[in-house]
Chain A
Amino acid sequence: MDLVFDLTEGPDIGRRLRFVGHGTYVLGRAGDPDADLQLPTDARMSRRHAEVDFGPEGCHIRLLTGTGSLEIDGQRVEAAPLRSGSVLRMGATSMTVRFTEASPAVRENALPRRRLEAFELEDELGRGAMGCVYAARDRATGEAVAIKRFEPDLSWAGEDADLRTSANERAVGYFLREMELSAVLEHPHIVRTLGIGREKEELFLVMERIEGCTLMERVRIHGVLDMPLLLKVARALLDALTYAHAKGIIHRDVCPSNLLLAEDPEGRITPKLGDFGIGKSMAAGVSAALTRTGEARGKEHFMAPECLRDAKRATEAVDVFSAGATLYYALTGKPWFGDNRKHRWADLARGTGLLAPLREVNPDVPEAIAAVIEKALAPRIEDRYTSAREVRDALDAAAAALAGADDK
């Protein structure tokens, strides 16, 4: 079973939060790294407001703070069982509680646990913010796969061995949960996850191997995309996000290096979005960011301003912004602020941003297409498209208008 909260009142009204599988979850305002549910905009909520214990025998909630309040169905409580349909109120936020069937991957344990020795590692394909990706081959089947290896970031636990062990177990558990959730994603434009494993402190993912390159590499090697390819990439990316969002999954790390352009022997390109679920693990401090290699630099160029202020805060709007930033890059070879790096951080902190107008950087981009991408990049959430689907529709309309104009 999964535990779902639908927020019906408060600053984050409309959000749906899903906790996958049994476990103990901390609910609170942003600022506590242990909190599983964070509502940063609710100032009346404590950082560690309440704890939910969700197990086979039932679901219980208890208040953790001495100053805050907890109400269930209008009654103030210190601790109480939660039932499907209960209305829970904490701080200024109300939410209804539901228990739902577990997602298919969790129910069927669809993501196989694998051992690293089952694969022959070939060349390293690259290093990202999360770890190294290798070309590999399944020794039993000969299947070509890609393996991403990384270690949980335990630096915050210091040198205390016990703390490191418990931190590691928690990080691994969190990661496995996220990966299983992501494994339900089966879409032609999403990289398939084939398995998952753990070798001592190291975690690894087995993924389908894509012959081709990333969007980042494509732009660096061949220059900016022409309009037909841009539209193909944009539609694929937005469809993948629409599909994932419908399943309640936010990517959080959409960027040109996570968008792979698979190329078949005839040269046909199929865009595929990778690294689902990893962004959330990264925000929760599960990953070891390989900053020593400088590889993580630049990721923030594609993040939404609200995500930079609070990495754990993620809604569909975060992915909409990052998709806009990715498409902006595909058309210009530059981040959305152009060369104006100096003011970037101050602007982002204010939530205003200083967009370098797309057509000033690349005048060949039709005005209607530029307008769609720039709206996706609105620094304030309320000025942005509300969903990836909406961006896709706006882009289609702009492309159709252009095609119509060309026909005349």
Chain B
Amino acid sequence: MSLWKPTQWTMIQGLANREDPEAYRRAWEHLFERYRVLFVRYAGWCLRRMGGQTLAANEAEEVVDAFLADCLEKDWLSRARRDKGQFRTFARTVLARYARDWMDRRKAKKRMPESGPPAHVDDLAAMVGAAEAESIEEEMDREWTEHLIALALAATRGRSRKNAIAIEALMATPDADRAVLAAKLEVQERQVPVNLHRARRMFAEELWEQVKETCSTSDDFLQERSALRPWLEHYLDPETSRSLYGDPTET
């Protein structure tokens, strides 16, 4: 029996092409809105590296809005391959196609086609070259990780102001000494290790909850967890990174 619980992403996949278009729209917009800023940046990188050096400021936004509109109106989400189990990889792949399509039309001065995204080019590398693709995807992963950390910190702050302060302090100064942290947390120095332990634990819960919401299955989640590891290690202090990948049986 699978222990995987419904997530925002599985709910959207389940609702696609179903009888309740309103529920589908709400769910899709809710998830999409959380990542919209990120998508606009990503679309901008794609467009520029596909040759759009004279890109207007709003063009990346238009690509992203077209992507959202087509997801809602043309029901091609149900045609998205189910094995693309992570929202991040799904969005990245499809947005790259949209960007390429946009550039094609821009060059040919054509209007947007009526159908959904073209299915014949899946690979960003085929559109912009391997080196460019790697660089764009790296930027996207970096931004995605930053965004996840921000979401997890906000959720942590909602549960415990002190715990959020602890994580932020460690991100700013990973080797901050105990006295500095005690002052920030307004606790005695000997209480700092317990406060940090609790903060790391709560932050880990919230971060993985955010990641789960964008995955379809537990395997997808484990893959995503691994994929994010180098980036999380880049942003977080070593002990917090270790606690994220620690013993899952802790009570």
Taking A123-B162, A124-B160, A126-B198 as known contacts, 7 extra A-B pairs with beta carbons closer than 8 A to each other, sorted by chain A number, are A124-B202, A293-B205, A293-B209, A296-B251, A297-B250, A298-B249, A301-B249
21 contacts between A and B (CB under 8 A): A123-B160, A124-B159, A124-B160, A125-B160, A125-B198, A126-B198, A213-B194, A216-B250, A216-B251, A217-B197, A220-B250, A222-B193, A255-B251, A256-B251, A267-B190, A293-B209, A294-B205, A294-B248, A295-B251, A297-B249, A298-B250
B229 interface hit (Cβ, 8 Å): no
For residue A44, give the distance in angstroms from its CB to the closest CB of chain B. Answer: 35
Most buried by A among B160, B162, B202, B251: B251
Contacts of A295 on B, CB cut-off 8 Å? 251
In the bound complex, do residue A221 and residue B162 qualify as a contact, i.e. CB atoms below 8 Å apart?
A: no
In the bound complex, do residue B5 and residue A292 qualify as a contact, i.e. CB atoms below 8 Å apart?
A: yes
- Residues of A in contact with B (beta carbons under 8 Å apart): 123-127, 129, 211-213, 216-217, 220-222, 255-257, 263, 265, 267, 292-299, 301
- Residues of B in contact with A (beta carbons under 8 Å apart): 5, 159-163, 188, 190-191, 193-194, 197-198, 201-202, 205, 209, 248-251
Chain B residue, CB-CB nearest to A220? B197
A332 to B209, CA, bound (A): 30
Secondary structure dominating the interface of B: helix
For residue B2, give the distance in angstroms from its CB to the closest CB of chain A. Answer: 14
Contacts of B191 on A, CB cut-off 8 Å? 211
Chain A residue, CB-CB nearest to B208? A294
For residue B9, give the distance in angstroms from its CB to the closest CB of chain A. Answer: 16
For residue B195, give the distance in angstroms from its CB to the closest CB of chain A. Answer: 10
Contacts of B190 on A, CB cut-off 8 Å? 263, 267
Contacts of B209 on A, CB cut-off 8 Å? 293
Chain A residue, CB-CB nearest to B188? A265
For residue A263, give the distance in angstroms from its CB to the closest CB of chain B. Answer: 7
In the bound complex, do residue B251 and residue A257 qualify as a contact, i.e. CB atoms below 8 Å apart?
A: yes
Contacts of A216 on B, CB cut-off 8 Å? 250-251
For residue B158, give the distance in angstroms from its CB to the closest CB of chain A. Answer: 9
Contact of A221 among B194, B205, B248 (CB under 8 A): B194
Q: A221-B194, A221-B197, A293-B205 in contact; A123/B161 too (CB < 8 A)?
A: yes
Contacts of A255 on B, CB cut-off 8 Å? 251
Chain A residue, CB-CB nearest to B209? A293
For residue A255, give the distance in angstroms from its CB to the closest CB of chain B. Answer: 7
A292 to B212, CA, bound (A): 11
A284 to B53, CA, bound (A): 67
Contact of A123 among B163, B194, B249 (CB under 8 A): B163
For residue A262, give the distance in angstroms from its CB to the closest CB of chain B. Answer: 12
In the bound complex, do residue B248 and residue A297 qualify as a contact, i.e. CB atoms below 8 Å apart?
A: yes
In the bound complex, do residue A297 and residue B251 qualify as a contact, i.e. CB atoms below 8 Å apart?
A: yes
A127 to B160, CA, bound (A): 12
For residue B169, give the distance in angstroms from its CB to the closest CB of chain A. Answer: 16
In the bound complex, do residue A217 and residue B194 qualify as a contact, i.e. CB atoms below 8 Å apart?
A: yes
A222 to B191, CA, bound (A): 12
For residue B159, give the distance in angstroms from its CB to the closest CB of chain A. Answer: 4
Contacts of B250 on A, CB cut-off 8 Å? 216, 220, 297-298
Chain A residue, CB-CB nearest to B246? A220
A37 to B201, CA, bound (A): 39
A255 to B251, CA, bound (A): 9
Chain B residue, CB-CB nearest to A257? B251
Contacts of B205 on A, CB cut-off 8 Å? 127, 293-294
A221 to B196, CA, bound (A): 10
A226 to B47, CA, bound (A): 62
Contacts of B188 on A, CB cut-off 8 Å? 265
For residue A156, give the distance in angstroms from its CB to the closest CB of chain B. Answer: 18
Contacts of B193 on A, CB cut-off 8 Å? 221-222
